[in-house]
Structure 1
Amino acid sequence: MTVALPRHAVLTGAPGAGKTTLLGAAAAAGYRTSPEVARQLLQSLGGMELRANDPLGFAEAMAEAHAREFELHAKAPGTVVFDRGLPDVVGFLDVSGLVVPQSVERACRSLRYAGPVLRAPAWAEIYVQDAERIQTLDEAIASDEAVTAAWNRYGYSVIDLPLVSLAERLAFLEAQLQPAA
């Protein structure tokens, strides 16, 4: 019996824990990828102000962007590796002390990722703040905890990425994408 590869692998976890770097390595290895929508929003005109002044609006914009990315890749053959997913929005809302809107709740329940969810745990040795990654390391750890709890809340099993070199992380990702024996 042939088992199809997962269609939606997701990289989640702490800010600054190497997800985007791993996503780039996966793309270079030939995997289709979907970028982190939050970073795209933050880099767009008014994005940082939206996050600072209207975190609920920012979360709703992230959810809409994740839903578009999900739909974009839903019917294409093969595997796509996403840099974060819809439950990450719920984690952002939870860590921000905000209520999850019904539209986000519905999206998390109806748009289901079918593949491994790999968590990049907070990693102090590589964490660096930048123009969009404004959290302290402690805030990044709290974000990671909230995001992981959100993925669990929606019934996903989260697998921790090892704290190893990029090549070893890519090999781990590729092993997780192989069909079950």
Structure 2
Amino acid sequence: MKNGLVVISGCSGGGKSTLLAELSARGHTVVEEPGRRIISEELASGGSALPWVDLAAFLRRAIDMALADRTTAARHEGWVFFDRGLVDAASALEALTGDSALRALCMTHRYHSRMFMAPPWPEIYVTDADRKHDFDAAVAEYDRLMAAFPALGYEVIALPKTATAQRADFVLASLDAPVATPVSRRRSAL
């Protein structure tokens, strides 16, 4: 059985949520970013598991939510697209705390071998009530993720800086393309 759970990750403000809205409009199942859901819940309840209050608690909640999302999504047929996921939260917690046990968690709970990375795109980057960090912090996050996903054996495919519909076409075509061999993966990373 194929793993149809596809992660779209990358730089904050890089157009991931807009791309996922387009994929949803085309009939695909999408899973909203855990971070935004947690922030909404914490603000509504007066909680402190917010990235600007208690980052470790926020990331632990994001890991739990990502695991639950994977379980629920695995029941769907066809492609299921995630706006971030387990690797994002676990790698951030590892960077924050040094807890290397998270690698085993990410290797046990896998997504599709191909994942898509939104590159830094300063022309569309904006902060909002939930995204309080600046563009430099977003780029640092992107750099961490660009190391984390390949280290876990994922084939990282950069999203083009194009219109949303073209990005969606690119993602779907890339998923239908043959899987790269380890040699061609190394060459494409050069």
TM-score normalised by length of structure 2: 0.84
| Offset, 1:141 | 0.3
Count of residues in Structure 1 that have an aligned counterpart in Structure 2: 176
**1:20 lines up with 2:17 in the alignment:** yes
Deviation >4 Å, runs of 4+: none
- Whether contact under 8 Å (1:8, 1:115) holds in the other structure is no
For residues 6 and 180 of structure 1, do their structure 2 counterparts lie closer, same or farther at Cα, with a shift above 3 Å needed? farther
Deviations 1:44-68 (A, max 9, x none): 1348832233211111110000000
**1:118 lines up with 2:116 in the alignment:** yes
| Offset, 1:100 | 2.9
- Whether contact under 8 Å (1:91, 1:143) holds in the other structure is no
Deviations 1:99-147 (A, max 9, x none): 2363x43321101112420000010000000011111011100011112
| Offset, 1:94 | 4.9
Q: Over aligned residues, Cα RMSD in angstroms?
A: 2.1
1:98 matched residue in structure 2 = 97
| Offset, 1:86 | 1.1
**1:54 lines up with 2:38 in the alignment:** no
2:166 matched residue in structure 1 = 168
| Alpha-carbon distance in 2 for matches of 1:45, 1:59 | 13
**1:138 lines up with 2:136 in the alignment:** yes
Deviations 1:22-72 (A, max 9, x none): 000000011111110111101113488322332111111100000000011
TM-score normalised by length of structure 1: 0.88
| Alpha-carbon distance in 1 for matches of 2:118, 2:129 | 21
| Alpha-carbon distance in 2 for matches of 1:5, 1:18 | 27
- Whether contact under 8 Å (2:113, 2:154) holds in the other structure is no
| Alpha-carbon distance in 2 for matches of 1:150, 1:40 | 23
- Whether contact under 8 Å (2:113, 2:155) holds in the other structure is no
Unaligned segments of structure 1, at least 5 residues? none
Unaligned segments of structure 2, at least 5 residues? 180-190
* Percent of matched pairs sharing the same residue: 31
- Whether contact under 8 Å (1:6, 1:78) holds in the other structure is no
1:148 matched residue in structure 2 = 146
| Alpha-carbon distance in 1 for matches of 2:108, 2:3 | 17
1:177 matched residue in structure 2 = 175
SS in 2 for 1:58: helix
